[in-house]
Amino acid sequence: MSLVIRHARLVLPTAVEEGDCWVEGPRIAAVGEFPPPSHAGVLDAHGLFLAPGFMDLHVHGGGGGDFALGDPASARKAVEFHTQFGTTGLLAALPPAPWEKLARACQALMGIPGVLGVYLEGPFLSPAKAGALPADRVLTPTPEALAGFRRFLSRWRNFVRVVVLAPEVDPNGVMLAEVVASGAVAALGHSDASYEQAMEAVRKGAQLFTHLGNAMRGLHHREPGLVGAALDCPAYVELICDGVHVHPAFVGLVARVKGLDRICLVTDAMPAVGLGDGLHPWEERAVVVRSGVARLPDGPLAGSTLTMNRAVRNFQSFAGCSLSEAVRCATLNPAQLLGLAHQWGSLEVGKQADLALWDETLEVQLVLRAGKVVYARRGWA
């Protein structure tokens, strides 16, 4: 397909500018002002924002679809759900499970457009900070567990893109070294680590803090913990900006201290996002969703019901930043963290044409993945 999207408000990494975008096949051929190619179709996007598609690093499912089931149809349903909200690339998050189950999930996810890989949330986590993850499936690094981990990582090399671990469970950094050697991003989370333990893990190669503020020791003036370490080092941090998981003032503080090039907005959405309030099964347990907040019956938050467009809108208001800065935290920053920024994350010539058109309120109108329309709001077809 050859298409020129005209008169859009282009959301660039440092500014929003009126202009055009030429999509040729799966790639962006030109951005800004250029002589219109004679063979291309034209779409007038007057008044709408054109942005790179969102990249959600940490999402469990959506619309009833669950990435962990090992069922391609269920996984596709989840991808389609998030596409409606402007997400064009995501990492499928997998809670701790036996290696065979995780392998089945990877198998089912391979080759699904929009799934850029897997986000392994465990299994070497602190049982005390498991949150809504099944604490009984958390592992300690016995030689046997380590051997299983090593086999799994080598089998799914380049597809497992992030592995979350608790550094205090891995005192010699053995697992961390395995993750780094596999080429995946080592993330710290679901952890009760001290500031020192976390900083040591960062020195050994950890690059990301999983949902900062959630499932970790809080910031204490005598023991700054994982939160303090995250604020005091150059690693990236995830934030769940639903206004529930972390306070808006915390988001503002993190934005000021970390800077806007080290924040990745994630949904951590659970499979029932989009199904409304009620009782929904997840990982063999019941999750209660009330007024859009998902909890286990005994209280802990169980993922979110967030979508990426809302995350960006909330972040812009909580952090008091510009629209392009907020969008960068949901596009270019995660692409850079994953080493995929040469192909994704901004409106630049040569990058994949993963694009979303949305209005003033970030209501998504049209989504393209690799130059093809994958979502059109009613009235656009």
- Using CB under 5 A, list all residues that contact Zn ion: 93, 121, 268
Place of tokens 């500031």: 195
CB proximity list for 171: less than 8 A, separation 6 or greater:
none
Q: What is the 3-state secondary structure (H, E, C) of 307-354?
A: CHHHHHHHHHHHHCCCHHHHHHCCCHHHHHHCCCCCCCCCCCCCCECC
Least distance CB 121 / Zn ion (angstroms): 5
Active site residue 242: no
CA separation for the pair 319, 247 (Å, rounded): 11
**The amino acid at 252:** G
Least distance CB 216 / Zn ion (angstroms): 13
CA separation for the pair 234, 261 (Å, rounded): 10
Burial of 213 (0-12, 13-18, 19+ CB in 10 A): buried
Of 82, 332, 57, 91, nearest in space to 209 by CA: 57
* DSSP state at residue 68: G
Least distance CB 46 / Zn ion (angstroms): 39
Least distance CB 57 / Zn ion (angstroms): 10
Phi, psi angles (nearest 5°) of residue 126? -80, 120
CA separation for the pair 355, 351 (Å, rounded): 11
- Whether residue 89 contacts residue 116, with contact meaning beta carbons closer than 8 Å, is answered with yes
Q: 232, 268, 277, 298: which one is catalytic? A: 268
Least distance CB 294 / Zn ion (angstroms): 11
Cis peptide before 72 (omega within 30 of 0): no
Least distance CB 284 / Zn ion (angstroms): 16
Secondary structure element (H or E) that encloses residue 116, with its range: strand 115-121
Q: Characterize the bridge pairing of strands 49-52 and 355-358.
A: antiparallel
Q: Which residue is nearest to Zn ion (CB)?
A: 268
Backbone angle region of 224, left / alpha / beta, with phi > 0 → left and psi within -120 to 50 → alpha = alpha
Least distance CB 238 / Zn ion (angstroms): 9
Nearer CB in complex with Zn ion: 121/192 = 121
Identify the three-state secondary structure at position 300: coil
* DSSP state at residue 67: G
> Which residues does the annotation mark as catalytic?
268
